[in-house]
Amino acid sequence: MTVAGSAHDLRWPALVWSHFSRPRIGGFDERVEAAAAAGYAGIGLYIDEYRRLRDEEGRTAVDIGRQLEDHGLVLSDIEVVSGWASSDEAATTECHRLEQLAYELADGAGCRYVQAIGPYDGTAGQAGTSFGELCDRAGAHGLLVGIEWLPFTNIATAADAAEIVTAADRPNAGYCADIWHHRRGADDDSLIRALPADRIFAVQMNDGPRARVEIEEYKADCLANRVPPGEGELDCVGFVRLLTGIGVTCPISLEVCSTELWAVSPAEAARRSADGMRTVLAAAGG
C-alpha cells in the first residue's frame, strides 16, 4: 500500500481520474481500485455521487478519504457548482445545496479544488462579485475554485472566464482549461497564453474529432463522444506544450466522457486514458 499525501501537493504531471470518465452514479469501489491500479494520483468526485454515497450507502466523507488513502489516492477535484451568479431563486437555492455538500466532502476527505460553471445573469462585473463571494465561501474550506469555460454557456471562452476571475480578485479564483472546450470552441491559443499560469488550477485532457457541431448538439456531444488522449484529432501534444510553455503546474485530470468507455470495465477505461496521456506527455517532452 502506498500512502497518499495531501491533495494540495499534486503537481504536473500527476494524473487524476475525473469523475465523468465513468457513469455519474455508482461503482465507487471499482472506480477507486481501477484508478489505483492504473497509477493515478487522485480522483475527482461528482457532488451528487457523494450525496448518494452518504445517504444511500451510509459513507461519511471521512470514510471516503480513508478509502482513498488506503489506495494511495487523494480527492483532487469536486464537480460541479453552478447557479452562483443567477437571479433565479431556485437556481440559487440549488447552488447553496451543492456548495454545502462540496464543503462537507472537502472537510472530511480533504480536497484541493472545486469546479464552477456558468451561465451567469447580469454583467460580467456582477458575475465577478458573485464569483468572489463563492471563492470566499470555498476558501474557508481550503478550496481553490476554477471556472470552466463552456461554449454552450455565456462563459464560452478563456477570455470570458478571465473577465470574471479578474473582477473577482480573489487569491483562490482561477480557471479550468479543458482541451475539448478550447479546441472545439474558440480554438485561439492566445487566449490561454493571456491567463496567469498559476491561476490555471485544473487541466482536463481528452481527445476527439476536431470538427465542430451545432451549438444545440454541443453539450450532448461533449458528454458522450470523447476518446483517450492521442486517439483523436485535438492535438493533445500541442496543447500540453502550450500549457507547459506558459508554466502551468497543476495536475492533469483525465476527463474522457465516452459511452464506449462507460461500457467497458473501470480497469480498462482507467488504463486506456492513463496510457494515452502518458504517451502524449512523452511525445510533448512534458
Task: Report, as an integer, the average pLDDT of 222-232.
Answer: 97
Let me know: does 43 contact 76? Beta carbons within 8 Å.
yes
Residue range 244-253, pLDDT digits in tens? 999 999 999 9
Check pLDDT > 60 for residue 29: yes
Check pLDDT > 70 for residue 3: no
The string of DSSP letters for 7-19 reads: GGG--TT-EEE-G
Task: Report, as an integer, the average pLDDT of 158-181.
Answer: 98
Tell me which DSSP letter residue 116 carries. Answer: E
Task: Report, as an integer, the average pLDDT of 213-222.
Answer: 93
The angle, 0 to 180 degrees and rounded to 10, between the axes of the packed helices 124-139 and 158-168 is 70
Check pLDDT > 90 for residue 207: yes
236 Cβ neighbours under 8 A, 6+ residues apart: 179, 205, 207, 229, 230, 277, 280, 284
The CATH number that domain 7-284 falls under is 3.20.20.150
Task: Report, as an integer, the average pLDDT of 1-25.
Answer: 88
Let me know: does 139 contact 173? Beta carbons within 8 Å.
no
Instruction: Kindly list the distances between the CA atom of residue 163 and the CA atoms of 134, 147, 182, in Å, as whole numbers in the listed order.
Output: 16, 11, 17
Check pLDDT > 50 for residue 1: no
Residue range 123-148, pLDDT digits in tens? 999 999 999 999 999 999 999 999 99
Q: Kindly report the average pLDDT of the chain as a whole number.
A: 97
Assign 122 a pLDDT band (cuts: 50, 70, 90): very high
Amino acid 4: pLDDT: 61
Assign 229 a pLDDT band (cuts: 50, 70, 90): very high
**Cα–chain-centroid distance for residue 178?**
8
Q: Which long-range contacts (CB under 8 A, 24 or more apart) does 58-63 make?
A: 60/108, 61/104, 61/105, 61/106, 61/107, 61/108, 61/109, 62/108, 62/109
Of 174, 99, 169, the C-alpha closest to 140 is 99
Predicted TM-score (pTM) of this structure: 0.96
Check pLDDT > 50 for residue 195: yes
57 Cβ neighbours under 8 A, 6+ residues apart: none
Check pLDDT > 70 for residue 22: yes
Task: Report, as an integer, the average pLDDT of 35-60.
Answer: 98
Task: Report, as an integer, the average pLDDT of 220-232.
Answer: 97
Other Cβ atoms less than 10 A from the Cβ of 229: the count is 28
Let me know: does 275 contact 15? Beta carbons within 8 Å.
no
Residue range 51-71, pLDDT digits in tens? 999 999 999 999 999 999 999
